[in-house]
Amino acid sequence: MELNKSILLLLPLMCCSLISGIHAVPSLRLINTISEPPSAAPAPAPSSIDATATVANVVVTPSPPSAGLEELCKDADEPTLCVDTIAPFIKGALDPVVAVKVGMAATMNMTMKVSDTIKTLMASPGNGDYDQQALEICADQYSSIVDTINDCFESIRQNDIYGTWINFSSVLSYQQACEDSFREGGSPIPFKDDSKTLFLLGGNCLAILMHLSGY
Ligand SMILES: *[C@@H]1O[C@H](CO)[C@@H](O)[C@H](O)[C@H]1NC(C)=O
Ligand SMILES: *[C@@H]1O[C@H](CO)[C@@H](O)[C@H](O)[C@H]1NC(C)=O
């Protein structure tokens, strides 16, 4: 397994796993804080405003639904992509765990798209000058990505945010290993843009999971 970029991504995880126990309680509190609708924060002074005015205030100034999502995505490499990917699937108050699941589903969708591309290219070796050996390595890596994301759906269903974060980082390691197989073979990767998008979508999930883990 290549250790260049992957090791940079894994280093903070190795360090954090040493102190995970200490942070277990604060991270749960963080999740609760984030899931509170922002509109709950500024309560008008009851003595100076009557009930009708209070109701009117709430109606006139609805909190933007994207505010909590922007906070959740703020550590991502591509915060805008992170928000744009997830926002269409959030109805009502933001549940950060739902947000992660949407991000993971988006990553899975891109994984399936690349897997299909790899299958097509492998099935028609005469159609391109693509490195067949690199394609085979990538087919294995993408199969591992599918397994990893499925496992992560299960661990997040069990509310193990920290375990999901640690294990989800493998997605980027597999994605890098696929790119490296082409780099080492010296031929261009035929799904360069999708590979990059997968990297960014996976990175978004990691950033949110890190945030929810309290780091
Ligand atoms: C993933 O793909 C399915 C099927 O095309 C689609 O219904 C779903 O909305 C996609 N999920 C995300 C998060 O983009
Ligand atoms: C993380 O992956 C390891 C190895 O596959 C597995 O044993 C462990 O149960 C996973 N952890 C979680 C929280 O899913």
- Give nearest CA residue, ligand 1 atom 6: 109
**Closest-CA residue to 34 (of 206, 164, 209):** 209
Winning range, highest mean pLDDT, from 64-68, 174-178, 209-213: 174-178
For the record, the structure tokens of 128 come out as 């391109």
Q: Which segments of 36-160 does DSSP mark as H helices, in order?
A: 51-60, 66-72, 79-86, 96-123, 132-157
Q: State the pLDDT at residue 92.
A: 86
Whole-angstrom distance, CA of residue 139 vs CA of residue 122: 9
Q: State the pLDDT at residue 131.
A: 86
Mean pLDDT of 188-211: 96
Least confident of 6-20, 58-72, 135-149, 198-212: 6-20
In a 13 Å sphere around the CA of 52, the CA atoms on its Cβ side amount to 0
Q: Which ligand is nearest to the CA of 20?
A: 2
What does the pLDDT look like over 23-55, one tens digit per residue?
A: 333 333 333 334 434 444 444 444 444 444 444
Whole-angstrom distance, CA of residue 209 vs CA of residue 164: 7
Distance 167 CA to ligand 2 centre (A): 6
Pocket of ligand 1 (CB under 6 A): 89, 102, 105-106, 109
Q: Check pocket membership of 153 for ligand 2, CB cut-off 6 A.
A: no
Whole-angstrom distance, CA of residue 194 vs CA of residue 137: 17
Whole-angstrom distance, CA of residue 136 vs CA of residue 129: 14
Q: Check pocket membership of 163 for ligand 2, CB cut-off 6 A.
A: yes
Sign, CA dihedral 104-106-112-115, equals negative
Mean pLDDT of 117-138: 85
Q: State the pLDDT at residue 64.
A: 58
- Closest ligand 2 atom to 166 CA: 1
- For residue 133, is pLDDT > 50? yes
Distance 65 CA to ligand 1 centre (A): 21
Whole-angstrom distance, CA of residue 38 vs CA of residue 52: 21
Mean pLDDT of 71-91: 94
**Closest-CA residue to 100 (of 26, 16, 192, 201):** 201
Confidence of residue 135 (pLDDT cuts 50, 70, 90): very high
Q: Check pocket membership of 151 for ligand 2, CB cut-off 6 A.
A: yes
Q: Check pocket membership of 20 for ligand 2, CB cut-off 6 A.
A: no
Contact in structure between 134 and 74 (CB atoms under 8 Å): no
Distance 1 CA to ligand 1 centre (A): 31
Whole-angstrom distance, CA of residue 190 vs CA of residue 182: 9
Distance 5 CA to ligand 2 centre (A): 22
User: What pTM does this model have?
Assistant: 0.74
Mutate to test the pocket of ligand 2, among 104, 144, 155 (most ligand atoms within 8 A of CB): 155
Whole-angstrom distance, CA of residue 70 vs CA of residue 79: 7
Sign, CA dihedral 115-120-124-125, equals negative
Contact in structure between 55 and 175 (CB atoms under 8 Å): no
